[in-house]
Amino acid sequence: MARPVVAIVGRPNVGKSTIFNRIIGDRLAIVEDMPGVTRDRLYGVGEWLDHQFSVIDTGGIEIDGEDEILKSVRVQAELAIEESDVIIFMVDGKAGITPNDSEVAELLFRSKKPVVLAVNKIDNIQRQDDIYEFYSLGFGTPFGISGSHGTGLGDLLDEVVQHFPDTKDDEYGEEVIRVALIGRPNVGKSSLVNAILGEERVIVSNVAGTTRDAIDTPFEKDDQKYVIIDTAGMRKRGKVYENTEKYSVMRALKAIERADVVLVLINGEEGIIEQDKHIAGYAHDAGKAAIFVVNKWDIVDKDDKTMQQFTQKIRDHFLFMTYAPIVYLSALTKSRLHKLLPVVNQVAEAHAMRIQTHLLNDVISDAVAINPPPTDKGRRLRINYATQVSVKPPTIVLFVNDPELMHFSYERYLENKIRAAFGFEGTPLRLFTRKKSSDDE
């Protein structure tokens, strides 16, 4: 089930990024700070009143070769309109209404999307009167907020969540594996979708416009049901969008949210570029099972070492996704295509795997016996027990005497031991440490 999407829109210097950071709070601290994670943060996850939602900071969208601020702001607003469920329209309470504000307001008003007006820089009670002129923009009650102090955000988010769409239960069922294809332009997403469906020839139906305006294609192979969530079928919106790298990222985010398994497509002919890491990183952060699919392998000049060398390049560039298997194929010729779905099945099973507590603790105990935790200022980490608390992705809580004593290198060691014992190929594995209390059983 995909989270609602909230976009923060406004002209430059009204404080969009500050509010973005306040809404997502310290959630980004959960994301591993590992080599290879180089993407900048256009997107985060916020939570308010038991609602989780995705947040887009359109201030991170830059238009290559475009110096006109107004045109750039317009493009950002158009992207937000298309991608979001609710829009936070930010203006500057000190500056008042500017022509750029009016331009964005007109675009948002025509969109018919829910818009919540946030007047930033209302830093004290004396500035409260500054919000009244913004009623003239036509979006109802303006919410005075302060990015620097964090005041007013509660009332703003109360209003935002009121406009979230109704979330429906899973329309396909737990037995169906949802597969999303992501990757930069021209890696062959559409070709691979067509190859998979053409090969199987058991297409149940095409469902357009489901949930996120993606094209969902259910099909069945060897008694296993799948749904391909196809972002590749979405039409480009002209040159300015093609030049906006992050537009494709926002498209991919929605598909990732709904997927069980994410196919990260890489152009075998061109090799790996920075945008590949950006896009793959979002699948990792979302906790989805993932497979690297190297397409166009038929036109790569090869010898007996080519595949091994390309595999090493992937491992070197994607150090944060060493768990993801790699499949080499050609969507055009369908060479090696038959290898893909069995790997999809394997990683989907690992993504949903639940380990019995006693088996998990046996592995942890053996790992600690082989390599005890190092001491820190005379104190040693003691792991009392572990339990798996959720799946998709598998998430394990380690109850310890003091979470501060868990070094990231020892946590990585334990993860490797768990993976060696139970597999978990293709899925991220989340480990959290918690201090054992008398209430924990």
User: Residues annotated in the binding site, as ranges?
Assistant: 10-17, 57-61, 120-123, 183-190, 230-234, 295-298
Burial class (CB in 10 A: 0-12, 13-18, 19+), 288: buried
Alpha-carbon distances, residue 197 vs 63, 204, 220, 231 (angstroms) = 36, 10, 9, 15
Burial class (CB in 10 A: 0-12, 13-18, 19+), 385: middle
Nearest to 121 by CA among 144, 155, 153: 144
Find where tokens 């790569």 sit.
300
Residues in the annotated binding site for GTP = 10-17, 57-61, 120-123, 183-190, 230-234, 295-298
Instruction: Tell me the pairing of strands 224-230 and 214-221.
Output: antiparallel
Full 3-state SS string of 246-270: HHHHHHHHHHHHHCCEEEEEEECCC
The two structure tokens encoding residue 292: 């690297």
Burial 120-151 (b: 16+ CB within 10 A, else e): bbbbeeeeeebbeebeebebeebbbbbbeeee
